[in-house]
Amino acid sequence: MTDAKRDFIEFMLSADVLRFGDFTTKSGRQTPYFVNTGNYKTGAQLSRLGSFYAAMVHDACGADFDAMFGPAYKGIPLASAASIALWRDFGIDKPYFFNRKEVKDHGEGGSLVGYKPKDGDRIIVIEDVITAGTAVRETMPVLKAAADVTVNDMFISVNRCEVGQTPGKTAIMEVQEEYGIQVHALVTVQDIHDYLAVRDKSLAGKMEAYMDKYCVL
């Protein structure tokens, strides 16, 4: 495991974003761990989180994109933090935008806030996790309805490596096949397991049972 991955896992733990226990995911699966980016709540946390994402975006894309999109709701602060850190850490100034879940019928109207995408734009998506791919399938129609954009890359905190709708394929594999999107993750479920393996063998065992049942590694 790299130092960067270990640092990010410990950062999530310190912010109570990565938690262990008995949880139910959006897909209805019972899981021994949960990632809730809604628990980031301080300026220092968002600043550091933005740096993690910015480094990942910089390594994968450099400045070769037009704007970043943060899906409502948890993607909104993630995209905001990433855009700030990209400028602060790498001198890359890119616009960002996000959607409302309810379309506004007064003022400027519409469902998008911030940058207005144009035909031909290359958009990157900033999200928290992908479990079953539901959020991605909700996001793509929103972007395509706004303009004829291209989405080649998505950046997430944790790749849960879970089976999607097709046996033998993870939700991320399905996203890549359906939409041509390359998904980049700061850490994977295997990284989290490996971190626990030397610190809490009981939790690591629960992770192994879950991974055997739901994950494709």
**Chain segment 43-70, per-residue pLDDT in tens:** 999 999 999 999 999 999 999 999 999 9
Residue type, 190: Q
Cβ contact 168:216 at 8 Å: yes
Catalytic member of 26, 101, 104, 213: 104
If pLDDT is split at 50, 70 and 90, which confidence band does 138 have?
Answer: confident
Q: Quick one: which of 158, 100, 105, 150 has its CA closest to 125?
A: 150
Identify the CATH class of 3-214: alpha beta
- 104 carries an active-site annotation: yes
Q: Are strands 67-70 and 30-35 parallel, antiparallel or unpaired?
A: unpaired
Is residue 73 very low, low, confident or very high in pLDDT (cuts 50, 70, 90)?
confident
pLDDT at 187 over 90: yes
Nearest C-alpha neighbor of 127 from the set 190, 35, 211, 11? 35
Q: Show me where the domains of the chain are located.
A: 3-214
First-to-last CA distance in the chain? 16
Whole-number Å distance between alpha carbons of 197 and 217: 17
Strand partners, 126: 155
Average pLDDT (180-207) is 95
Which residue's structure tokens are 């129609």?
141
Quick check: is 193 catalytic? no
Tell me the H-state helices in the chain: 3-14, 43-61, 75-90, 134-146, 171-179, 189-197, 201-214
Burial of 212 (0-12, 13-18, 19+ CB in 10 A): exposed
pLDDT tens column, 11-23: 999 999 999 999 9
pTM: 0.92
Helix or strand or coil: residue 126? strand
Asked if 29 contacts 92 with a C-beta cutoff of 8 angstroms, the reply is no
